[in-house]
């Protein structure tokens, strides 16, 4: 192995380690923001919840969880050098992310029996779902970039940090929704 190859691999390992640390620090800081929103929800609404479409909530939650499955498949495929499996899984994840956004922002926001300006319930619901939707949107953009780069052959089984970072971010956004869904749709009695 040449000296240049050894130097490149050493630099890549260092960058990979610092990038991973940076990503996890970002996720930790973002988790505090989402945690603050959950605390605000329970502090301000107590044992009541907004009147929301239960079926739609279950559907969008299922879609997001399914997207996480396909993101895992995509990352695993790339780690094993399966470029087609990676592209397929990433594209399915991207489409499911868009469907989730349409379900929450395009449908739920339109049919909710309150507006953002309708007191505490409106403020909490639209802030929580809006902040989460923003993260899903940035995840969809991230997926689109990773998909495009994957089509152009930028990743390999040995070097696919962007795919790993995208998967970690996507799973984080999914985990946040696992907490938001019951807090908004299931816990408490409907506020009257």
pLDDT tens-digit readout, 149-192: 999 999 999 999 999 999 999 999 999 999 999 999 999 999 76
Distance CA 75, CA 10 (A): 23
Angle at alpha carbon of residue 24, lines to 176 and 133, rounded to 5°:
30
The mean pLDDT of 106-133, rounded to a whole number, is 96
Please give the domain boundaries of the chain with CATH numbers for all domains.
3-190 (1.20.120.80)
H/E stretch holding 59 reads: helix 54-79
**pLDDT > 90 in the chain, percent:** 89
Distance CA 11, CA 61 (A): 40
- What secondary structure does DSSP assign to 115-138, as a single string? -TTSHHHHHHHHHHHHHHHHHHHH
pLDDT tens, position by position, 93-103: 999 999 999 99
The CA-atom distances, in angstroms, between 131 and each of 44, 152, 177 are 18, 32, 11
**pLDDT beyond 90 at 10:** no
Q: What is the pLDDT of residue 86?
A: 98
Question: Which residue is it, tokens 């040995």?
Answer: 158
- 39-43 long-range contacts (CB < 8 A, ≥24 apart) are 40/124, 40/127, 41/124, 41/128, 41/183, 41/184, 42/183
Smallest CA-to-CA distance from 26 within 169, 185, 128 is with 169
pLDDT tens, position by position, 12-62: 788 888 999 999 999 999 999 999 999 999 999 999 999 999 999 999 999
Q: Is the pTM higher than 0.85?
A: yes
Q: What is the pLDDT of residue 2?
A: 77
């Amino acid at each position: 192995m040449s000296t240049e190859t050894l130097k490149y691999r050493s630099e890549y390992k260092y960058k990979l380690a610092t990038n991973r640390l940076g990503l996890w620090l970002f996720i930790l800081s973002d988790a505090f923001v989402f945690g603050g929103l959950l605390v605000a929800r329970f502090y301000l609404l107590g044992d009541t919840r907004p009147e929301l479409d239960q079926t739609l909530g279950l559907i969008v939650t299922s879609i997001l969880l399914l997207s996480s499955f396909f993101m895992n498949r995509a990352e695993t495929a790339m780690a094993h050098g399966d470029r087609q499996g990676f592209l397929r899984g990433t594209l399915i994840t991207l489409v499911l992310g868009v469907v989730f956004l349409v379900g929450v922002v395009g449908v739920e926001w339109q049919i909710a029996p309150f507006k953002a300006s309708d007191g505490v319930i409106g403020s909490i619901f639209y802030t929580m779902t809006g902040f989460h939707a923003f993260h899903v949107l940035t995840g969809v953009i991230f997926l689109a970039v990773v998909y495009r780069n994957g089509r152009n052959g930028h990743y390999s089984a040995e070097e696919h940090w962007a795919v790993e970072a995208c998967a970690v971010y996507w799973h984080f956004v999914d985990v946040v929704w696992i907490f938001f869904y019951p807090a908004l749709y299931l816990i408490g009695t409907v506020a009257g």
